[in-house]
Amino acid sequence: VGELENVYALSPMQKGMLFHSLMEPDSGAYFQQASFDQKGSFDVAIFRQSLDLLTQRHEALRTNFYRFETGHGQEPLQIVFRHKDSDLSYKDVRGMQKAEQQAYIQALKQEDQARGFDLGTDALMRVQVWQTDEETYHWVWSFHHIIMDGWCLSLVTGEVFGTYFALLEQKQPELAPITPYGQYIEWLEHQD
């Protein structure tokens, strides 16, 4: 974790999620997990680079959540770090039989869900890739709902894979401009 880039309040929805996550840390209510299979070639190093670019581009993926003592009690704040590593793990399970692979992957998915997220320290999105055959991979994306929802996941995967394919072709990725989440929070604070 690097130096701070920004500090701002939470949206009302985020405050509710933080409250419930702190009250029932083992509930898993805001833990999201999506998985899919991929066929074709895959370059782990290029994908890691793509995921790092995605994390650097979107401040929500470099954010952690804290409660600070103020004169009015504890105030929740989100802290955006200038740099935060993405969380990618890759495992080659081609040496296992298919049934063994499936049981192993299912057990690791359940472990990942049981682990949950520490909102104050963890990267709040994790990507796990298991190579199950010569050109077959099983993907698991886990994230906390406080930083994004299922609808955002398709945008995130679209951007990271668009970047991945551009980098594979040694091209500069073409990325649409983004509005930092902090600007939304600033706008929200001025609403009645």
Q: What integer best gives the mean pLDDT of the chain?
A: 93
Write the pLDDT tens digit of every residue in 168-192: 999 999 999 999 899 999 999 999 8
Beta bridge partner(s), residue 65: 78
**Which residue type sits at 116?**
G
Helix ranges (H only) for the chain are 12-23, 44-57, 98-115, 150-168, 181-189
- Average pLDDT rounded to a whole number, residues 118-144: 96
Helix (H, G, I), strand (E, B) or coil at 65: strand
Residues in the chain: 192
Q: What is the C-alpha end-to-end distance of the chain, expressed in Å?
A: 36
Q: In what order do the strands lie in the sheet with 87-92?
A: 31-39, 136-144, 125-133, 87-92
* Residue given tokens 């581009």 in the structure block: 57
Q: Go through the domains of the chain in sequence order and give each one's CATH number.
A: 4-189 (3.30.559.10)
Q: Is the pLDDT of residue 118 over 60?
A: yes
Distance CA 188, CA 183 (A): 8
